Chains A and B, each alone.
Chain A
Amino acid sequence: MSNLTSVMPSNSSARTKRFIIKALEYFALLLATFIALLPLVSSFMISFKTAEEYGSTNAMTPPVNWLNFGNYVQVWNDGDMPRAFLTSGGVVVVVVAVSVMMGSMLAYVLNRFRFPGNNLIRNMFMIATLIPGIAMQVTTYQIMKDLGFLNSIVGYAILMSGTDVISIYIFLQYFENLDVALDESAVLEGCTYFGVFFKILLPLTKPAIITVAVLKGVGVYNEYYNANLYLQSNSWRTISTALYSFSGPFKSSYNIICAGVLLTLIPSLIIFLFFQKQVYAGLASGSVKG
């Protein structure tokens, strides 16, 4: 952060002007933060209200008892949430593992080997970023149907692993900055290409792995369009589809629904607090996919 204020002329009218600008900047930031947090905080407050309290008090009145976890218990039990957390957790682990392996392996091959088709593969992935995936969901559904992947958790996990190119780009960028001398010396010592990749390079890509895992993990955890389309059966509800079904049993009991909403936010919040830097950095490198 550059220190501009110190070189500014320091007569008193300029100082007043600086003070006013500073105050306006803080005001704008506080207002934006208020708007960003208001919807979340209001949901948080209502999740502690009892049904009568919800009916009789204003939405912005704090709850009488901040330790009233009744809504949380109810939504946990009646909203089928333990199962949804397990399903989503399983899908996230599998998709993240597959994406990390596929992305790093393909990036290794593309970055370290010359072979006919290297450019073709790069171009195929680049062109794929120009085709909006959302436009193709109609025919993707047909393919999933033909493969027998409707209501299949395996099919859903494969679809989620196979439709994203960002992880490949993040690894490709990372491999470009890994010195090839590492590979050369290992091969001279008799290491195979597989050995070079698994024993030497893959452990060095740890930062890229964390970035891909966090971005992909949060993305899959929050995904609901495909989950809703391909996992119609109640036994494979993910967090998103379980949330979606709340409007059935809980109708307009927003105090209970908000408790469920906040429960689903906890994993994202924890990941964000622990991996803030990787999330920010990953977004930046992911956006260069162009």
Chain B
Amino acid sequence: MTTLAKPIQPDLRKKKINWQKVAVITLFAAVPMFLLILFTYVPFVKMIQFSFYNMSYTKNKGFVGLDNYLRIFTKSEYVDAMLLSLYYMAGAVVQLALALFFASILSLEKIRGAGVFKAAMFFPFLVNGIAIGYIFKFFFTRGFVLDSVLQAIGFPLDSLPYWLRDQSINNWSLVFTSVWKYCGQNMVLFIGAIASIDPTLYEAATIDGANRWQQFKAIILPGIKTVFMLNLILSITGSLSAFEPAYVVGSMGANGTATFFIKIHQMAHVTGKVGQACAMAMVLMALILIFTAGQRLFFRYVMKDSDNTFNAKSNKAKALW
């Protein structure tokens, strides 16, 4: 687990209270701490509490113990919604592989216009989520952009599915919009990580006769392990809480595209069952924490990676006063 920088200089000066120091610490830390508690810790505690009650935003009908939790695991609609995140996880794996592939090409090969390729692939990350919704509704509509392109390369229109309506394919269409948005961002992170690898390592490897794949395995993969793990955690937790594509492109989860998060949103803000929604949010959080912890353990004990980017830098931290 990453820890923040620790002050390392022992304070040897014993003296009376420095009121100026107290004032600056109080003034500068009070507001961020207040907001952190107000918008992170208070909702967190309330979420735990509410999950045991049958309640709405206005009325509390009493303590119901674990009923809210039991309902999540016994009703198939919730379990199905949870299973939808598997689509997004599969998409995340493809996305990471593509991002790593293109990051390696752009970093290690002499590519004309590398900056332009990088910018074009990254830009979707900056596109407004609602705009993505419209762009892709238009993109996937019968006979529109995607169908035209596929027809141009020889697929007859009759053989193509209704990308957003057909339940056998529509979740993949939504996953595609997610990959479209985030792949370039992952790639930029990988390019940054590859750039921080000492270039003399490649030269040494080339002189030793290592081929491109061997270099990738022996130099690049170990060099970007930390960033890779962070990308993986972000993608998996993102998959578990996926909602943007289904909410915007999939018309709020219509046609069997409602992810678990959309169910939570509807439960709280449409049906008004806040207690039930909190229990669902607790389950979502537990899943995310399990996956995060699992990946950290995997990387620490299986890959022997100490995940110390932040600590390595923080050793320079100084406590002055």
A residues contacting B by CB (< 8 A) are 1-5, 7, 22, 25-26, 28-29, 32-33, 35-40, 42-43, 46, 58-60, 102-103, 105-106, 108-115, 118-119, 121-126, 128, 130-143, 145, 158-159, 161-163, 165, 168, 172-173, 176-177, 180, 183-184, 192-194, 197, 218, 221-222, 224-225, 229, 239-241, 243-244, 246, 254, 257-258, 261, 264-265, 268-269, 271-272, 276, 279-281, 283-284, 287-290
Q: Does B171 touch A at the CB level, under 8 Å?
A: no
Q: Does B111 contact A4, Cβ atoms closer than 8 Å? A: no
User: Whole-angstrom distance from the CB of B206 to the nearest CB of chain A?
Assistant: 5
Q: Does B309 contact A39, Cβ atoms closer than 8 Å? A: no
Q: Does A280 contact B188, Cβ atoms closer than 8 Å? A: yes
User: Whole-angstrom distance from the CB of A19 to the nearest CB of chain B?
Assistant: 13
Q: Does B29 contact A121, Cβ atoms closer than 8 Å? A: yes
Across-interface contacts of B36 in A (CB, < 8 A): 124-125, 128, 162, 165
With A26-B111, A131-B44 in contact, is A109–B29 under 8 Å at CB? Answer: yes
Complexed CA–CA distance, A158 and B145 (Å): 41
With A4-B206, A261-B134, A268-B128 in contact, is A139–B29 under 8 Å at CB? Answer: no
Q: Does B43 contact A130, Cβ atoms closer than 8 Å? A: no
Complexed CA–CA distance, A22 and B110 (Å): 9
Q: Does B69 touch A at the CB level, under 8 Å?
A: no
With A7-B206, A240-B129 in contact, is A134–B313 under 8 Å at CB? Answer: no
Q: Does B81 touch A at the CB level, under 8 Å?
A: no
- With both beta carbons as reference points, the residue of chain A lying nearest to B114 in the complex is identified as A1
Q: Does B33 contact A121, Cβ atoms closer than 8 Å? A: yes
Q: Does B129 contact A224, Cβ atoms closer than 8 Å? A: yes
- Listed from nearest, the 4 A-B pairs whose CB atoms lie closest are A162-B35, A122-B4, A105-B28, A139-B43
Q: Does B128 contact A176, Cβ atoms closer than 8 Å? A: no
* Apart from A2-B203, A60-B152, 20 more pairs, CB < 8 Å: A29-B105, A33-B117, A105-B29, A131-B40, A132-B237, A134-B284, A135-B284, A135-B288, A137-B264, A162-B32, A162-B35, A176-B5, A176-B313, A193-B20, A224-B128, A224-B129, A268-B126, A269-B123, A283-B192, A284-B189
- With both beta carbons as reference points, the residue of chain B lying nearest to A194 in the complex is identified as B24
Complexed CA–CA distance, A93 and B231 (Å): 30
User: Which residues in window 1-19 of B have CB below 8 A to A?
Assistant: 1-7, 9, 11
* A/B interface sample: 18 pairs, CB < 8 A: A43-B138, A106-B28, A114-B9, A115-B21, A121-B29, A131-B44, A138-B268, A162-B36, A176-B5, A176-B316, A224-B129, A243-B128, A254-B134, A269-B126, A276-B119, A280-B188, A283-B188, A290-B310
Q: Does B138 contact A173, Cβ atoms closer than 8 Å? A: no
Q: Does B102 touch A at the CB level, under 8 Å?
A: yes
Q: Per-residue 0/1 for B109-147: is the Cβ within 8 Å of any A Cβ (1 yes, 0 no)?
A: 111001001011111101111110011111100011100
Complexed CA–CA distance, A222 and B184 (Å): 17
With A25-B105, A42-B145, A287-B189 in contact, is A136–B281 under 8 Å at CB? Answer: yes
> By the criterion of a CB under 8 Å from any partner CB, how many residues of chain B are at the interface?
117
Q: Does B64 touch A at the CB level, under 8 Å?
A: no
- With both beta carbons as reference points, the residue of chain A lying nearest to B138 in the complex is identified as A254
Across-interface contacts of B50 in A (CB, < 8 A): 138-139
Q: Does A102 contact B31, Cβ atoms closer than 8 Å? A: yes
Q: Does B269 touch A at the CB level, under 8 Å?
A: yes
Q: Does A126 contact B102, Cβ atoms closer than 8 Å? A: no
Across-interface contacts of B122 in A (CB, < 8 A): 280
Complexed CA–CA distance, A126 and B243 (Å): 25
Q: Per-residue 0/1 for B262-292: is the Cβ within 8 Å of any A Cβ (1 yes, 0 no)?
A: 0011001100001001100110110011001
Q: Which of B129, B138, B307 has the most CB of A within 10 A?
A: B138
User: Whole-angstrom distance from the CB of B240 to the nearest CB of chain A?
Assistant: 8
Q: Does B93 touch A at the CB level, under 8 Å?
A: no
Q: Does A290 contact B131, Cβ atoms closer than 8 Å? A: no
With A162-B36, A265-B131 in contact, is A135–B2 under 8 Å at CB? Answer: no
Across-interface contacts of B108 in A (CB, < 8 A): 1-2, 4
Q: Does B231 contact A58, Cβ atoms closer than 8 Å? A: no
Complexed CA–CA distance, A133 and B33 (Å): 16
Q: Does B6 contact A119, Cβ atoms closer than 8 Å? A: yes
With A36-B124, A162-B39, A288-B230 in contact, is A139–B47 under 8 Å at CB? Answer: yes
Q: Per-residue 0/1 for B298-321: is the Cβ within 8 Å of any A Cβ (1 yes, 0 no)?
A: 000000000101100110111111
Q: Does B102 contact A143, Cβ atoms closer than 8 Å? A: no
Q: Does B40 contact A264, Cβ atoms closer than 8 Å? A: no
Complexed CA–CA distance, A266 and B181 (Å): 17
Q: Does B145 contact A60, Cβ atoms closer than 8 Å? A: yes
Q: Does A25 contact B44, Cβ atoms closer than 8 Å? A: no
Q: Does B126 contact A272, Cβ atoms closer than 8 Å? A: yes
- With both beta carbons as reference points, the residue of chain A lying nearest to B242 in the complex is identified as A134
Q: Does B227 touch A at the CB level, under 8 Å?
A: yes
Q: Does B257 touch A at the CB level, under 8 Å?
A: no
Across-interface contacts of A173 in B (CB, < 8 A): 313
Q: Does B126 contact A180, Cβ atoms closer than 8 Å? A: no
With A108-B28, A290-B2 in contact, is A140–B39 under 8 Å at CB? Answer: yes
Complexed CA–CA distance, A193 and B2 (Å): 29
User: Whole-angstrom distance from the CB of B153 to the nearest CB of chain A?
Assistant: 12
Q: Which of A28, A193, A244, A272 has the most CB of B within 10 A?
A: A193
Across-interface contacts of B137 in A (CB, < 8 A): 254
Across-interface contacts of A40 in B (CB, < 8 A): 123-124, 127, 135
User: Whole-angstrom distance from the CB of A225 to the nearest CB of chain B?
Assistant: 8
